[in-house]
């Protein structure tokens, strides 16, 4: 185990039961093999090291949960509220699985019909066939995952506020750093290293990134500046910075929540009419998406993920840049910067999961022309009083003086 956690999350288990009961699903069967399904760990609420064989977690709507694990691995799980069921051979595993399912007719798993939602589809077809052979109808756990594992606790919300406040400061510091050191032929990678140093000073951790993209590199939504490919940042040009991080983990606390923002700046001369036009299209789309989300939530009719994407995409299409908005509007935000809840997506997928209260998402429309790209990204938390943008909102292009 890691993070000094000694027992599964009772809250996750109880929230799962509540959803299962309301959806008339007999239980949730989440299965992992060599850490290929992060939902297993999220549902369990802790990380177990060195699991080498298939492991199953069964959470019935009514009854006590069970963990089915191989004899060589089962000793790694803590003794506690979840019954531990060992198996040795494959035949023993199948028989034990049949016993713990106990005649369940409808079972939720990490399965997405026709692979519509890749973030949900974590279980292979053979596993689905096995469970069906035991008499169960397998349904998607997509909405269940959100309810049980993606809603933030008050402590997690505070960890997010700390992270986004730090990122808001660091991105402006990074733009200032560029302006102050422009004569030294800074590269994109140099600025990324500067930002990573600021993360460490602010008590933040990160898995990868940030994006620091100058001129045409900003037309690549996921540009990754390396020493070998970085451009020198000149006195005249366009700069996009996308940065994400979370508060460094406290061994005795819940997993902290990430923040993720994107800002853009113009170096040298003021932004051109084209820069301004594209920036306005993007920020208007961002604001239209938030307005739809806010209105629908306050009306008690939370939208599905695809609907929020569509609201933003219509604005960019009307401005004439629809062909250059080449990714979904936003993603689920959790401990991992791209988490397992609903995405705001009617492009890469048609995400029919509801944007439920208690979760976080990003809103980040973008327009990517050959010569430059614009993205404006904010984080949104759906609290008891409705959605809120948790950090600063970029309303004007940052001007970096280089003379």
Say how far apart CA 362 and CA 312 lie, in whole Å: 13
Q: Are residues 161 and 183 in the same domain?
A: yes
Reference 47, options 76, 75, 27; nearest CA is: 76
Q: Is residue 3 part of a domain?
A: no
Give pLDDT, residue 6.
45
Give pLDDT, residue 46.
87
Q: Are residues 260 and 364 in the same domain?
A: yes
Of the CA atoms within 13 Å of residue 395, those in its CB half-sphere come to 3
Quick check: pTM over 0.85? Answer: yes
Q: Are residues 162 and 68 in the same domain?
A: no
Q: Are residues 263 and 337 in the same domain?
A: yes
Say how far apart CA 117 and CA 332 lie, in whole Å: 13
Q: Are residues 121 and 193 in the same domain?
A: no
The CATH number for 279's domain is 3.90.230.10
Q: Is residue 323 part of a domain?
A: yes
Range of the domain at 42: 10-149
Q: Is residue 2 part of a domain?
A: no
Q: Are residues 306 and 375 in the same domain?
A: yes
Q: In terms of C-beta distances under 8 Å and separation of at least 24 residues, what long-range contacts does 75-79 make, across chains too?
A: 76/1, 76/48, 76/49, 76/50, 76/51, 77/48, 78/1, 78/6, 78/7, 78/8, 78/46
Pick the last residue of a domain from 102, 130, 149. Answer: 149
Cα torsion 340, 343, 347, 353 to 10°: value is: 90
Q: Is residue 327 part of a domain?
A: yes
Residue 130, C-beta contacts closer than 8 angstroms, at least 6 positions apart? 94, 97
Q: Are residues 296 and 375 in the same domain?
A: yes
Q: Is residue 19 part of a domain?
A: yes
The CATH number for 145's domain is 3.40.350.10
Q: Are residues 177 and 51 in the same domain?
A: no
Residue 360 three-state SS: strand
Q: Are residues 172 and 87 in the same domain?
A: no
Q: Are residues 183 and 122 in the same domain?
A: no
Tens place of pLDDT for every residue, the chain, 403 residues? 343 344 556 678 899 999 999 999 999 999 999 999 999 999 998 889 999 999 999 999 999 999 999 999 999 999 888 999 999 999 999 999 999 999 999 999 999 999 999 999 999 999 999 999 999 999 999 999 999 999 999 999 999 999 999 999 999 999 999 999 999 999 999 999 999 999 999 999 999 999 999 999 999 999 999 999 999 999 999 999 999 999 998 766 678 999 999 999 999 999 999 999 999 999 999 999 999 999 999 999 999 999 999 999 999 999 999 999 999 999 999 999 999 999 999 999 999 999 999 999 999 999 999 999 999 999 999 998 999 999 999 999 999 999 7
DSSP 36-59: --HHHHHHHTS--S---S-EEEEE
Q: Are residues 98 and 157 in the same domain?
A: no
Pick the last residue of a domain from 149, 165, 183. Answer: 149
Q: For the chain, how many structural domains are there in total? A: 2
- Backbone φ and ψ for 279, nearest 5 degrees, come out as -60, -45
Give pLDDT, residue 249.
84
Q: Are residues 244 and 300 in the same domain?
A: yes
Pick the last residue of a domain from 149, 183, 217. Answer: 149
Cα torsion 279, 280, 286, 292 to 10°: value is: -170
- Cα radius of gyration rounded to whole Å, the chain: 23
């Amino acid at each position: 185990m890691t993070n000094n956690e000694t027992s599964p999350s009772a809250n996750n288990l109880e929230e799962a039961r509540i959803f299962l009961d309301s959806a008339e699903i007999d239980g949730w069967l989440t299965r992992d093999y060599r850490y290929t399904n992060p939902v297993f760990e999220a549902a369990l609420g802790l990380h177990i090291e060195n699991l080498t064989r298939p492991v199953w977690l069964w959470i019935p709507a009514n009854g006590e949960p069970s963990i089915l694990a191989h004899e060589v691995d089962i000793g790694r799980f803590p003794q506690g509220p979840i019954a531990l069921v060992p198996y040795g051979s494959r035949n023993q595993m199948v028989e034990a699985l049949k016993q713990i399912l106990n005649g369940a007719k409808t079972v939720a798993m990490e399965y997405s019909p026709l692979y519509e939602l890749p973030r949900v589809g974590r279980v292979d077809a053979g596993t689905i066939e096995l469970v069906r052979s035991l008499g169960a109808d397998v349904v998607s756990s997509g909405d269940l995952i959100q309810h049980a594992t993606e809603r933030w606790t008050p402590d997690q919300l505070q960890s997010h506020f700390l992270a986004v406040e730090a990122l808001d400061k660091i991105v402006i510091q990074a733009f200032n750093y560029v302006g102050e050191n422009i004569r030294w032929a800074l590269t994109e990678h140099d600025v990324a290293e500067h930002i990573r140093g600021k993360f460490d000073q602010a008590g933040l951790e990160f898995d990868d990134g940030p994006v620091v993209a100058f001129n045409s590199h900003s037309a690549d939504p996921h540009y990754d500046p390396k020493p070998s490919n970085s451009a020198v940042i000149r006195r005249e040009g366009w700069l996009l910075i996308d940065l994400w991080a979370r508060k460094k983990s406290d061994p005795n606390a819940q997993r902290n929540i990430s923040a993720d923002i994107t800002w853009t700046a113009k170096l040298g001369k003021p932004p051109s009419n084209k820069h301004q036009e594209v920036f306005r299209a993007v920020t208007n789309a961002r604001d239209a998406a938030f307005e739809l989300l806010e209105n629908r939530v306050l009306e008690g009719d939370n939208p599905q993920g695809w609907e929020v994407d569509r609201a933003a995409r219509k604005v960019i299409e009307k401005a004439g840049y629809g062909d250059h908005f080449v990714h979904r509007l936003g993603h689920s935000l959790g401990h991992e910067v791209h988490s397992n809840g609903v995405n705001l997506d009617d492009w890469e997928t048609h995400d029919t999961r509801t944007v439920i209260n208690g979760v976080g998402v990003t809103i980040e429309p973008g327009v990517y022309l050959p010569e430059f790209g614009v993205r404006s990204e904010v984080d949104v938390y759906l609290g008891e009083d409705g959605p809120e943008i948790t950090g600063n909102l970029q309303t004007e292009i940052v001007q970096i003086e280089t003379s």
